[in-house]
Every structure is written in structure tokens, then in C-alpha cells.
Amino acid sequence: MITIWHNPRCSKSRQAVALLEEKGVEIDIFKYLQEPLTAAMLSSLLSKLGISARELMRTKETLYAELALETADDAQLIAAMVAHPRLIERPIIIKENRAVIGRPLEKVNDLLA
């Protein structure tokens, strides 16, 4: 089973869902903007992605600057993403203990291989 952290309003996220469906993959869609997030969930996701909290963030979002996150540590960044999930990059595709941010879409194919 593949889990996708999905934002239906995002074209890249919709493309990732379409790619997974085209490949006949069983998908669990997690609408992270609507479902509650926890710091533990994000920490686990970061471990699977193998990246820092800042690398998971949409640093060009106006909210990022408004919250003055430029000098925040990982714990503060994770707390900000829990409180404001729109700061999270998308889409995120998870397969077992590995995950990728599906930009570009080729990364999704790499995860499935």
C-alpha cells in the first residue's frame, strides 16, 4: 500500500495520484490539510524522507516569512508545520519505510521501483 499526503488543489499532487492510479497501485490518500497532524507524525515522515524539517517546508510561502521561521530550529519548524500544514511540501508519497516528495514526478517512479 502506498500513502500519499495529498492536497487536491495542487496540480502536482493530483498528477501524483493519477500516476499511482495509472500504475494500478493501491493508494491511501491522506488529506493532510484537513486531517490533524502531530509532531510525531512529522518526525517519522522526516526520517522516512531522510531530510531536515526545513527541507520539508515551502519556504517561499508568505506564512513562512510571517512566522519568522528563517532561524527556527527543527522542533520549531515541526511545530509550525503541525499548526500550519500548508507549509508542508507536496505531494509526499510513502512506501513502507521510505518516502519521497513527488517533485518532479519521476521521484514517484523511483520509489515504486
Helices (H) and strands (E) counted in the chain, each on its own, are 5, 4
Cβ(101)–Cβ(49) below 8 Å: yes
The one-digit pLDDT tens for each residue of the chain (113 residues) are 999 999 999 999 999 999 999 999 999 999 999 999 999 999 999 999 999 999 999 999 999 999 999 999 999 999 999 999 999 999 999 999 999 999 999 999 999 98
Q: What are phi and psi of 99, to 5 degrees?
A: -150, 160
Catalytic (active site) residue 10: yes
- Write down the catalytic residue from 10, 25, 27, 79: 10
Q: At what angle do helices 74-83 and 39-49 cross, to 10 degrees?
A: 120
- Residue found under cell 522516512: 48
Q: Looking at the structure, do residues 28 and 57 belong to the same domain, yes or no?
A: no
Based on the domain organization, do 98 and 82 belong to the same domain?
A: no
Is residue 80 located within the same domain as residue 56?
A: yes
Q: What pLDDT does 113 receive? A: 85
What is the number of structural domains in the chain? 2
- CATH code, domain with 53: 3.40.30.10
